[in-house]
Structure 1
Amino acid sequence: MIRLIQGDITKIEVDAIVNAANTSLLGGGGVDGAIHRAGGPAILEECRQIRAKQGGCAIGAAVITTAGRLPAKYVIHTVGPVWNGGHNGEPELLANCYRHSLQLAVETGIKTIAFPNISTGIYHFPKSEAATIAITTVQQFLATDNTIKEIIFVCFDEENYALYKERLDKGQ
């Protein structure tokens, strides 16, 4: 049910990819910028509609749009926390990104989903802790809901890939 690959999330053929978005939903750097560039203007247009309706996306929350020109059908946008030493609820907010994305996937009928390494880039969440939170949260979700058939962690860099592989090999 859980797979790990190193690569470019914009090339993955799944029902939905998850975007590590910012609260504005208007695109940005890192994976967010890559998804918007590869998916084209349809994603940004739907993000603007969501902003007009609800004013963006809160940290730990998730919203869904079309995937535009991407091989996926949907993009689930979630906003990870900026790391501020771990004393402002960052671990729980990061876990919420995974929980809320998975719940939205279930509500939408999504069976396959790919996640990037949320908050580990410019938001500076420690990669080791983020990997543990991601895997543990996904495993807890799968223990209570078997709607989603495959969850793929897509690591862009070697460091995240090694951290995820080590934890998944241990059965964490």
Structure 2
Amino acid sequence: MTNIEATELDISVRVQQVPFAMDEGYESVLHQRSDIGAIVTFTGLVRDFNETPDVTGLTLEHYPGMTERTLIQIGEQACQRWELQAVRIVHRVGDLAPGDPIVRVLVASAHRREAFQACDFIMDYLKTQAPFWKKEHSRHGAYWVQERHADHQDAARW
């Protein structure tokens, strides 16, 4: 597990193989500040379908060091666009099964709209900028997941 924190902003990222709690990051943010009016979270899960209708598992690979720096940069970009009190990103790597949590993003802000927008922005940029590679496993074999044009369109709107 790698844990990196940005010094000037309240941004924390972790890349790990072990599962994370569904409330990951919530308590650390909630009890630090009294100016938080909204906390928005997103948790991504492994589906049992994607490029094929029979996904049995997923292997996530990454580029250690570069991945964490990229996640910090994405959090910093969100803080530059919106007034945020905190950003937490936890991303798993390794072998995962359908239903397993892959990613958790938590954004705290004084206002709900900023928190929702920043969380959406972070996920769009994670999908297109972070150095993760997905190999899906199905009953018919394994294959690398290709980039999706729609993900880049989503990121381009920001």
Shared topology, TM-score over 0.5?
A: no
Rg: which structure is higher? 2
Structure with higher strand content: 2
Structure with higher helix content: 1
**TM-score normalised over the length of structure 1:** 0.30
**TM-score normalised over the length of structure 2:** 0.31
